[in-house]
Amino acid sequence: MIDSDREEPCAAPAVPAGMAPDVAGYAWARDTIGEAGAAVYRLSGKPGAPDLYLKHGRDAVADAIAEEMARLRWLAGRLPVPRLVRFDCTADEAWLLTTAITGRTAYQVLASDPAGRPAVVDALAVFLRRLHAIPVAACPFIGDHVHRLAIARARIDAGLVDAGDFDEERAGWTAEQVWEGLQGLVPFAADPVVAHGDCSLDNLIVERHAVVGSIDVGRAGVADRYQDLAILWNCLDEFGPAMQRRLFRAYGIATPDERKLRFHLMLDELF
């Protein structure tokens, strides 16, 4: 079934020959919400077959897709993530085909079920605790703020930061102003965990008030725990400060670190 809130039916795009049998017989729809630069398609309606997702991109986006593929392989068995069906690439393109996770995004559930919001927020906290409990020593991927600051500086220099998409708090700022603001918030004592890296309400899948899966894991790696907490806390602003406070209480933090919240939200503006 096509989700008309975020998908548009479309014709099947060209795929590598080896992937063609995997995608035959499906109805296609292109995602209209994602902001990562990749073309994202949902494949549905094939009798007796699971729904699938296909990501396709070129150049730097292809590199990001390859990074997501590697993280999906590593996270399998550790966290509920989409199953990798096939990955294909050339020198400058990449295609990632995965199974869909049954359920709705946490945002969709929170928006449609006000009475269920406390239970959903509690479930988000449970999921984060589970993710952050994965042993750091086992994780081969780095996503800490030092690494991300270097990438952010390169993105600023290349003119890749969209200042028009900044949060309301920083509306009218330039990317350089965000960068300068970040310098006033470091250094800080990192508390490393295995982090999702882009832990928004659109990237967590919920069913029956439980988180049943996580998607878009291309930034997963060892990072300060506030990398995830800050983004999720910020997403919950739309549903009120009570839900934001509840997230931290359910996670187990009595008094959030305001400095880290500001830092990670400002850093996220540059991606």
Over residues 207-235, mean pLDDT: 97
Tell me the average pLDDT of the chain. Answer: 95
pLDDT reported for residue 2: 45
**Distance set, CA 110 to CA 36, 66, 116, 120 (Å):** 23, 31, 7, 7
Phi/psi of residue 194, each to 5°?
Answer: -80, 115
Q: What is the pTM of this model?
A: 0.92
Domains and CATH numbers, the chain: 7-99 (3.30.200.20), 104-269 (3.90.1200.10)
User: pLDDT per residue over 35-67, tens digit each?
Assistant: 568 999 999 999 999 999 999 999 999 999 999
* pLDDT > 90? residue 222: yes
Residue found under tokens 């970040």: 182
Least confident of 14-23, 25-34, 42-51, 200-209: 25-34
Flag the least confident range among 5-9, 64-68, 72-76, 158-162. Answer: 5-9
Work out the pLDDT band at 3, boundaries 50, 70, 90: low
For 87-100, write each residue's pLDDT tens digit: 999 999 999 999 99
Contact by Cβ (8 Å): 80, 127: no
Catalytic, 198? Answer yes
Structure tokens at 86: 């096939």
> Does residue 4 have a pLDDT over 60?
no
Strand partners, 142: 222
pLDDT attached to residue 156: 98
Q: Which of 5, 63, 198, 228 is catalytic?
A: 198
